[in-house]
Structure 1
Amino acid sequence: MRSARRLSAVTAAAALAVTLAACATSERSDEGEGGAGATGGTFVFGAAGAPDNFDPVFATDGETFRPARQMYDTLVTYKPGTADLEPALATEWTPNADFTEWTFTLREGVKFHDGTDFNAEAVCFNFNRWVNLPNAAAQTQAQYYSDVFEGFASNQTDTTGAPVYNSCTAPDPTTAVIKLNKAKGAFPSAFGLTSLSMSSPAALQQYDADNVQQSGEAFTYPAYATDHPTGTGPFKFESYDRTANVVTLARNDEYWGTKPTIDKLIFKVIPDENARKQELQAGTIDGYDLPSPADWETLKNDGFQVLVRPVFNILYLGINQKNNPALQDLRVRQAIAYATDRESLVRTQLPEGAVVATQFLPETVDGYAADIQALPYDPERAKALLAEAGHSNLTVNFYYPTEVTRPYMPNPTNIFTALQENLRQVGITVNAVPQPWNGGYLDSVSNNGVQDLHLLGWTGDYNDAGNFIQTFFGRPKAEFGLSPDRDQALFSEISAADSTVDPAAHAAAYEQVNRDLMTKYLPAIPLSSSPPALVVRDNISGIVPSPLTDERFLNVVKG
């Protein structure tokens, strides 16, 4: 049954109960000065892509979040292997009656890596820094912040609106009060986003953290983001060898919680999946992310541990309505959907356990509308719709990423090739535009919107429908060419659902949004949800696969 598989949702009632339950949750700082960390050694993990930078607020992809999660802490976090909340830098969090104010009780005695104190003033400094990011480049790169908080004190782009964040006060060192301009169903879960990690105010100021610059489609980051990230987490930044593509983190012996069991944590960037496998087999790395589904059984037979994550993602075919007027016609977008053989795609390109997506949520999230049926594969219907719209000779520029493997997209090139053939069969000419993931792909499609069609996806950051739907379609966005002139009704509908905090009403509102997205708007085509994996050597323990790809390495033990 769907309800039996559902990840535990954080509801308003649960939020109220948190103040009673949090103190009973394991206080990681009570586990001794050394924790379990007597094993030492180095753990080397093969990453599928290079981090873009090390300032969490400017992180937009999993390869950038991975090292950040080891160096920083958030106010709340997610219990390993789940999307359930548990204490982190805050031990308690309580909303007011209308959910527009959240009071956090903070952990005492926590230090940033530079030796300065974490306290309520530091919390307020971080929140006030985010809302006051000074220029369009910084605001554009702070995508997760703007998705959740919707705007800045002085918006520098046309894709942001009135800010949800109002103010932060620190009545005492262990109490921070966050005031919002409106309630959002995303909270408190969204407070656990890695993008909302706590940075040292002293380091942020010393290393000019807000000075992001843009030249053409490229962004450059200040010294804080490139060489001086300073959090409170279990590992400290040591170095990033950009020639060798190796990030080295060192154990934080002053960590407030359980001390890491290893001395060094190394992320070796190996974009090619087969090369990652070969390095694991050669013993030069201890594990890697996103093994090819075709290799799972072979890896297991060779004695490696394949750790499969729960399904919590969406792969979609994005449609940008800005550049090609034909794509503004719903009939054309529907034709592309009917032309797409998603059943074959899932069967041939995705791992066991993958399913055809009927909407822009995995079914484990409240707000999933079970009555939506996937648009069937119907090439003749696609041709008829294109003819009816007067676009039988449609040509599109189709962007897809290379030199990367994503949790929702094991082999982007193969997936693109299958979809290209689907479109060719209904008369659509595809201009293929491959672009390296770390060569500006996300900036091209998400920030600059230069494409007609593109492949992208999303792994949920927390268990709320808005984390998917509001993030994708809740405001004007270059990725889909959504604009206030054409799409204000969609933005308003999503905003109303997002600000509904009663759990049942919140879910029902998002169910209706999902129905309307698939019938009235179709700004993209949901393709699949699939279970990604990571693989480690047989002597490695302590890694818990996360539906959020939120694995922490402080408990890694090399046997």
Structure 2
Amino acid sequence: MRQLRLILRQWKRWYAILWAIATCLLIGLTNCTPSQDSTGSSTSPTAAQQVIVFGSVSDPTNLEPGNYEDLYTGYVTRQIYDQLLDAEPGTTELVPSLATEWAASEDGLTWTFTLREGVMFHDGTPFNAEAVKANVERWWDPASPLGFRDAGKNYVIWKALFNGFKGEEGSLLQAVNVVDDRTIQFVLREPFAGFPSAIAAGYFGMASPTAIEQAGADYGTAGSVAVGTGAFQFVEWRTGDRVVLKKNPNYWKEGLPKADQLVIRTIKDASARMVELRTGNIDFTINLSPEQRAEIERVPEIDEKLSSPFNVGYLALNTSYEPFSKPEVRRAIAAAINKPAMIDAFWGGLATTDGHFTPPALSQYQDPNVTDYEYNPEAAKQQLADSGYPNGFDLDLWYPDASGAVFPAPKFIAEAIAADLTDVGIRVNLNTKDWAGYLADRLNPPGFQAFMLAWGGDYGDPDNFYYSHFGPGSTDDIGGWRSDRVITLLNQARQESDESVRATLYAEVDRILFDEALRIPLVHTQTLMAQRKDLQGWVPSPLGAESFETVTK
């Protein structure tokens, strides 16, 4: 606890310094009118045009549907692309989007989607069933000429949600068939009641096959193009600075988008984002520090927004690292971390901790006998000794380089974890790197020995949390760990329509994963966000990134 107090004191001192710098900047900027370049781009808007500016935390990794996993990329791609289905704003309830109707066959193996008429991609080419097929095959089929896998594109999120690629034994999708211009069918290996929700995940926006073919492997990278059917069209991406989008004048939703131009700025530091918000250089932002709640309350021009805690922040332990091949050692790590003290120290009343990988909103699918790992450093030390590590071991612990929705102060949280592990004899070396490299390198063998990561739900079902982290093909970052029992339970739950039966199946998964301690749940948190009072129409989604088509001021 003493070490945690020192870390917390350091964090507060660091925050105070940043706040002082921010205040000085604010004084200097208060009487200044923002230049066109502070909100605009090389394509400057006219005085009559409405520009909205969003403060993001990190650059997108790319602008390519199906080839990313992170929230910050999603905030950009959700503006450019539409999915077949969407969620009602502020909820997880499915609503039509590029598809107007969807239904399963009697045996549950074929899903048929009816597509919206008259929708065009930004490049003027038509959206139709052939375009859907080209996009899906790009993600699913390694032989797709539009996949450019030889350039390093891997589409790992497809494998995580749909159990593999074409030709692999476990692949849920078996075929995608064009019935006619407005009808597409997906043929599955086995029934999956959640298929519409999964294909509606924000990763799977529809891109122009023509644009992909013309751009080749560069599609979606900085300096190339990004062409969808969405509310905004891509203008430019200045890496490390901003992505600029403009209104799609031919958007299929009448009267939308409200804004003429959308600028998504990269501002890694939460204090800097708050300065930009207070001065009016940005209109809304996400992932603020709990320490900033009091500041928001003091500023009359700013309103607080909170998201629902539909997420998990976890510590992953890679089983390819010899000590973590033993579940007893992994459980010792879990017992060594004082999670309640960390929650009190870093999340300011906006978070909870427990032993469940799924968030509290999905408690009906959890084992009620699973509570949490008891903080007990003496028992952890004894467990390590009994497992062959009486003197501990060396450990490389990785943490994200920027504050996020779930980890508001990742460096200091990592230091707190390291301090707890040091107390039981583990010699921790802390590491970080840029966000895109962090996500990629954890998957490159042998991967990170231990790392912090977070997951926000893509659809309102435990399948999205479990299958994406413990299903076939989704455990490369933890040494390829596999449990046939877990996979059997997850597959049964996917096929089952009776919710009481599904709850029983998922409760067993919950218990097994608690005992295995592979991705140790650290936190479920509300995300602190803020906007200028004159902004209207922003409805944060519990599923992460949302479209800004209705945002205006």
TM-score (ref. length: structure 2):
0.86
Aligned to 1:43: 52
Deviations 1:186-223 (A, max 9, x none): 32211211222111121122222xx4xxxxxxxxxx23
Spell out the pairing of 1:238-249 with structure 2 (5 A cutoff): 238-242=235-239, 245-249=241-245
Q: Extract unaligned runs of 5+ from structure 2.
A: 1-46
CA–CA distance in 2 between the matches of 1:100 and 1:121? 21
Aligned to 2:72: 63
CA–CA distance in 1 between the matches of 2:434 and 2:400? 5
Give the C-alpha shift of residue 87 in structure 1: 0.7
Query: Which of the residues 419, 422, 442 maps onto 1:424?
Result: 422
1:87 equivalent in alignment to 2:85: no
Deviations 1:34-81 (A, max 9, x none): xxxx98411111110000110111111011111100010011101111
Q: Which moved more, 1:121-130 or 1:81-90?
A: 121-130
Give the C-alpha shift of residue 461 in structure 1: 0.6
Aligned to 1:528: 523
Contact kept, 8 Å, 2:395 with 2:426, in 1: the verdict is: no
Amino acid at match of 1:392: P
1:367 equivalent in alignment to 2:365: yes
Deviations 1:290-315 (A, max 9, x none): 11111012112202111100110001
Query: Which of the residues 192, 202, 206 maps onto 1:198?
Result: 206
Aligned to 1:172: 180
Please state whether the residue corresponding to 1:540 is helix, strand or coil. Answer: coil
CA–CA distance in 2 between the matches of 1:426 and 1:195? 41
Spell out the pairing of 1:228-307 with structure 2 (5 A cutoff): 228-242=225-239, 245-258=241-254, 259-303=256-300, 304-307=302-305
Query: Which of the residues 397, 400, 404 maps onto 2:398?
Result: 400
Contact kept, 8 Å, 1:401 with 1:437, in 2: the verdict is: no
CA–CA distance in 2 between the matches of 1:330 and 1:82? 37
Amino acid at match of 1:119: N
Aligned to 1:143: 156
Amino acid at match of 2:524: S
1:490 equivalent in alignment to 2:498: no
Amino acid at match of 2:410: P
Aligned to 1:26: none
Give the C-alpha shift of residue 165 in structure 1: 1.1
Query: Which of the residues 532, 538, 553 maps onto 1:537?
Result: 532
CA–CA distance in 2 between the matches of 1:224 and 1:272? 26
Aligned to 2:31: none
Give the C-alpha shift of residue 392 in structure 1: 2.2
Amino acid at match of 1:45: F
Query: Which of the residues 333, 336, 342 maps onto 1:336?
Result: 333
Aligned to 2:127: 118
Contact kept, 8 Å, 1:72 with 1:232, in 2: the verdict is: yes
Identity %: 32
In structure 2, do the counterparts of structure 1 residues 136 and 203 end up closer, same or farther at CA, with 3 Å as the change threshold?
closer
Give the C-alpha shift of residue 447 in structure 1: 4.5
Contact kept, 8 Å, 1:470 with 1:494, in 2: the verdict is: yes
1:108 equivalent in alignment to 2:117: yes
Amino acid at match of 2:237: Y
Amino acid at match of 1:325: E
Aligned to 2:86: 77
Give the C-alpha shift of residue 383 in structure 1: 0.9
1:507 equivalent in alignment to 2:499: no
Please state whether the residue corresponding to 1:176 is helix, strand or coil. Answer: strand
Aligned to 1:379: 377
Q: Extract unaligned runs of 5+ from structure 1.
A: 1-37, 156-160, 212-221
In structure 2, do the counterparts of structure 1 residues 39 and 338 end up closer, same or farther at CA, with 3 Å as the change threshold?
farther
Give the C-alpha shift of residue 154 in structure 1: 4.6
TM-score (ref. length: structure 1):
0.85
Contact kept, 8 Å, 1:380 with 1:426, in 2: the verdict is: yes
CA–CA distance in 1 between the matches of 2:219 and 2:413? 38
Amino acid at match of 2:247: R
Please state whether the residue corresponding to 1:94 is helix, strand or coil. Answer: strand
Please state whether the residue corresponding to 2:520 is helix, strand or coil. Answer: strand
Deviations 1:344-403 (A, max 9, x none): 111111142311122110021252233311111011110110111111222243333343
Deviations 1:79-104 (A, max 9, x none): 11111111101111111123211111
Please state whether the residue corresponding to 2:365 is helix, strand or coil. Answer: coil
Aligned to 1:218: none
Give the C-alpha shift of residue 331 in structure 1: 1.1
CA–CA distance in 1 between the matches of 2:327 and 2:86? 40
Give the C-alpha shift of residue 522 in structure 1: 1.9
Amino acid at match of 1:555: T
